[in-house]
């Protein structure tokens, strides 16, 4: 695979995720400042879904199709257009249409093209419903999680916009937008339930306090991070990207491990047993969403473990972008048996052995896989 086979796709994907982050921030400000919860519906799997979910999906779908017009753009994404087209969703649909058009109007700031005129409802529903691919091992599929970590989003905490490109069943590009990712890692562990307790960014200063887009291309051996665009500045590629690399810590006593916040998403007590047998000394860092992969790639944590309840199937969009970024930053991601994750089997990571582990390096990874086996035998999961 040539190094620059995906130069155009990566360029477009990074710009599109920057725009999606800006859209999310706008919706989140509205959500935090308004007390009404009219726009928050519940998902089938009980997580909250917001205007942001559909707006991001419509925006990303439209921009990818327009920017890569010479390709057939196939997108696997989480949200299903059915809910939005129902008669009861009129208020929601109006909010989505307005949000998408507000976002697309800013495309030139990100080096992309705006629509000639505002998109109508049917065009927006069309863009969302075009995200109907089921992935698999043939051809190219974009994989999108419009707002990963909806609970984090609603609380003004960590969430991510994740976009990956899978070709012939392998991830080739990953882009992860983390709008609330703090510049200083100490802020990650602050459970700020409102956006007020985060240091605010000021448009005048060059320093950024939070928010970044990370990205990587398969086989490059590099992962990169750009700060989100502030105020009315234009997106400039060259001068804002910083390389990110995993931590060099390989002593469990010094390592930080991340896990999901909610008990429904992982077995906290099993992770605690594994952590104990590894000799971790630090408290686990509980972080919403794929931001956990960003923390490993940036060197802010060394290990991420997730052991879902039996019967739960991990979805490809919850992992694809994070996995390639961690791998290209120098880390290792496998299932709990040490096998690579298989993204070629459709919407789910089929054949997964017990859970998912991501580590900053092979030494910790080998110890972790050993600890999982030891703890598994002694626990009755």
Catalytic residue numbers, as ranges: 53, 150
In angstroms, the CA 305 to CA 280 distance is 13
Cβ-contact 142, 134 below 8 angstroms: no
Cβ-contact 100, 58 below 8 angstroms: yes
38 is annotated as contributing to ligand binding = no
In angstroms, the CA 4 to CA 114 distance is 26
Beta-bridge mates of residue 173 = 165, 217
Strands lying side by side in the sheet with 75-77 = 75-77, 140-148, 160-167, 170-182, 210-217, 223-227, 242-244
The tokens describing 286, both together, are 């509980």
Cβ-contact 348, 298 below 8 angstroms: no
Cβ-contact 119, 130 below 8 angstroms: no
Query: What's phi and psi for 311, nearest 5 deg?
Result: 95, -20
Cβ-contact 74, 133 below 8 angstroms: yes
The tokens describing 195, both together, are 């956006």
Q: Which of 252, 266, 263 is nearest to 355 (CA)?
A: 266
Cβ-contact 118, 65 below 8 angstroms: no
353 is annotated as contributing to ligand binding = no
148 is annotated as contributing to ligand binding = yes
In angstroms, the CA 132 to CA 150 distance is 21
Query: What's phi and psi for 305, nearest 5 deg?
Result: -125, 140
In angstroms, the CA 364 to CA 254 distance is 11
167 is annotated as contributing to ligand binding = no
In angstroms, the CA 115 to CA 119 distance is 7
Task: Report the binding-site residues.
Answer: 78, 145, 148, 318
Task: Report the binding-site residues for Mg(2+).
Answer: 78, 145, 148, 318
């Amino acid at each position: 695979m040539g190094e620059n086979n995906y130069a155009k796709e990566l360029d477009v994907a990074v710009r599109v995720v920057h725009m999606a982050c800006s859209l999310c921030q706008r919706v989140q400000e509205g959500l935090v400042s308004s007390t009404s919860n009219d726009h928050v519906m519940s998902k089938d799997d009980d997580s909250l879904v917001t205007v942001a979910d559909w707006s991001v999906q419509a925006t990303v779908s439209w921009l990818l199709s327009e920017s890569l017009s010479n390709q057939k753009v196939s997108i696997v994404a989480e949200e299903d257009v059915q809910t939005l087209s129902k008669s009861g969703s009129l208020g929601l649909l109006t909010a989505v249409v307005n949000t998408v058009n507000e976002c697309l109007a800013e495309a030139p700031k990100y080096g992309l093209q705006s629509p000639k005129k505002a998109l109508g409802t049917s065009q927006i529903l069309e863009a969302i419903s075009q995200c109907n691919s089921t992935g698999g091992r043939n051809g190219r599929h974009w994989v999108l999680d419009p707002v990963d970590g909806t609970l984090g989003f609603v609380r003004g905490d960590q969430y991510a916009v994740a976009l990956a490109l899978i070709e012939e069943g392998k991830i080739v590009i990953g882009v992860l937008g983390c709008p609330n990712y703090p510049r200083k890692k100490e802020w990650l562990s602050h459970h700020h339930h409102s956006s007020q307790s985060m240091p605010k960014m000021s448009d005048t200063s060059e320093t950024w306090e939070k928010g970044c887009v990370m990205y990587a291309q398969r086989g490059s051996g590099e992962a990169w991070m750009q700060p989100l665009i502030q105020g009315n500045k234009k997106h400039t590629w060259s001068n804002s990207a910083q390389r990110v690399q995993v931590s060099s810590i390989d002593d469990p006593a010094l390592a930080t491990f991340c896990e999901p916040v909610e008990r429904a998403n992982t077995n906290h007590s099993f992770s605690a047993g594994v952590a104990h047998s590894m000799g971790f000394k630090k408290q686990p860092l509980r972080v919403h969403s794929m931001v956990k992969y960003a923390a490993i790639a940036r060197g802010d944590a060394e290990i991420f473990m997730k052991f879902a309840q039996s019967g739960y199937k991990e979805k490809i969009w919850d992992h694809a972008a994070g996995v390639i970024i961690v791998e290209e930053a120098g880390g290792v991601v496998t299932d709990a048996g040490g096998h690579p994750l298989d993204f070629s089997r459709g919407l789910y990571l089929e054949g997964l052995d017990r859970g998912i582990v991501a580590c900053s390096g092979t030494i910790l990874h080998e110890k972790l896989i050993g600890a999982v086996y030891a703890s598994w035998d002694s626990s009755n999961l």
